[in-house]
Amino acid sequence: MNLGPLMVDLRGAALEPEERELLGHPLVGGVILFARNYESPELLQRLVTAIHALRTPALLVAVDQEGGRVQRFRDGFTRLPPARVLGHRLDRDRAAGLALARQLGWLMASELRAAGVDLSFAPCVDLDYGFSQVIGDRALHRRAAAVGDLAVAWMFGMREAGMAAVAKHFPGHGAVAADSHVALPVDRREWADLESDLLPYRRLLANGLPAVMAAHVVYQAVDSLPASLSPRWLRDCLRGELGFQGAVFADDLSMAGAAACGDVVARAALALAAGCDMLPVCNDRAAVQALLATLPATAADPVSALRLARLHGRPMPGREELLAGPRWQECAAAAARCFEADPLQFEG
């Protein structure tokens, strides 16, 4: 059975009987986990193992574990600083900033891989224009070149830990004030002004970026549809101009930024037609059921399934072996030092 295009969520820290049936549907290809699904590293590994055992190829298991405000698993995992810390470090010492980015990318990914989690939706490569509160300190830097350099280092760290990077939010969420969780942001800049936002993606693609997540943001000069639902952005720009061959995730289709484009079935149809390979639908089981009842079997595209299958995490040491190793100890200490200078500056 191929991986389908839907990524769904779960209610708790263990699979319920009806969820086992849900995850067996051919249109489902992945599971996204949240803080409610986490109690301890041991129970997390048990949950992920149960999910992976349901199908062949195994469903992808993903989480948002960027660091700072966006870290779903906390107790039992190393506390990660917000990405802005890396930009500050780069400004003081370029080599040290890049080294820290690689360390934190490896640390984040290795701890998740020890529990069996395939993907973290990271790095966030939105530029820090100072407009977006939902991005805020999740941004690596204001300068596009700095974001590109740090994101590549972070991606290399993830790769060394056996995890594929998923850069977000293509082509950039940093220049709009509205939060796409609760509204449809509109970026009114001209096309030429968007080139800075694309630069980090160009750098990442040149170094083998495996996946991106597209933003629920309208770029008025390019298309009236959000980038996540736009063939002009995903087929013409991302795959055409930029030559991207990896997997494309839409941002969560339950968010208000997507809801402006119709009901969930209409949103999903637009996203698939635009070129998305996987569609997360979170915190709305009724919407998932509507999609399973409505989307045609052809929505499970074999080419998309192949792109997604390449995102499975590589085998890595278990948790006990990981925590005993010198690299984990070095990287965990580097993460801890990020909080020592001024702990009050950190959100979350």
Q: Which residues contact 340 (CB under 8 A, 6 or more apart)?
A: none
Specify whether the CB–CB gap between 121 and 70 falls below 8 A: no
Q: Which residue has the tokens 């992920």?
A: 48
For residue 64 the two structure tokens come to 């948002």
Q: Which residues contact 210 (CB under 8 A, 6 or more apart)?
A: 164, 165, 166, 246, 247, 310, 311
Specify whether the CB–CB gap between 311 and 61 falls below 8 A: no
Specify whether the CB–CB gap between 200 and 245 falls below 8 A: no
A 10 A CB-CB count for 324 gives: 10
Strand 279-281 versus strand 6-8 pairing type:
parallel
How far apart CA 253 and CA 280 sit, in angstroms, is 6
One-letter amino acid for residue 42 of the chain: E
Strand 119-120 versus strand 186-187 pairing type:
unpaired
Residue 284 C-alpha from the chain's centroid: 19
Which run of H or of E encompasses 327?
A: helix 326-337
Residue 70: strand, helix, or coil = strand
CA-wise closest residue to 204 among 280, 152, 260: 152
Active site amino acids: 181, 251
DSSP assignments along 5-25, one per residue: SEEE--SSSS--HHHHHHHTS
CA-wise closest residue to 198 among 157, 252, 138, 151: 151
Residue 214: strand, helix, or coil = strand
CA-wise closest residue to 173 among 247, 227, 221: 227
